[in-house]
Amino acid sequence: MTLKELSQLYYLNREIERDQERLEKLRASASAPGAPNYDGMPKNPSFENRLERYIAEIVDLEAIIQAKITQCLHERARLERYIAEIPDSLTRQIFQLRFINGLTWVQIAFSVGGGNTEEGVRKRVYRYLEQENKGEK
């Protein structure tokens, strides 16, 4: 597995966060002052058209977010299966913390302890991947 493949879960999670922020902004815009109020009274059609656009965007974005969440679940399962096959316990922990939990190298070094440094845990990952990729060729 490559570093790019291992990082997909992280990037999917960031995409979901950005989409959720955008969704909140859309919802706020749809309910902002000046948005139509459906109380049965005649309204300006341009307000109703704007609300319909917001609702359509919200529904589309909710579907996109849900699809990405499903993709995240599949990606996480794939990564967990891969990490479970790593023979060394410390290396497994580092991979888990980095690629599943999304921690920084500093946070990982602190978490695993044992005098491990940021550089040490990072190099351990890169060496493992390099060794594994040499074995596949």
How much is the mean pLDDT over the chain?
88
pLDDT of residue 33: 63
Per-residue pLDDT tens over the stretch 47-57: 567 788 888 99
More confident residue, 41 or 88: 88
Residue 6's SS3 state is: helix
Per-residue pLDDT tens over the stretch 21-54: 999 999 988 886 655 555 555 555 555 677 888 8
Is 68 in contact with 74 (CB distance < 8 Å)? no
Per-residue pLDDT tens over the stretch 59-80: 999 999 999 999 999 999 999 9
* Most distant CA atoms of the chain, gap in Å: 72
Q: Residue 53 and residue 35: Cα distance in Å, rounded?
A: 12
pTM comes to 0.76
Per-residue CA distances from 58 to 18, 27, 32, 116 (Å): 14, 7, 15, 46
Is the per-residue pLDDT at 137 higher than 50? no
Is 16 in contact with 69 (CB distance < 8 Å)? yes
Q: Residue 21 and residue 10: Cα distance in Å, rounded?
A: 17
Average pLDDT over residues 101-109: 96
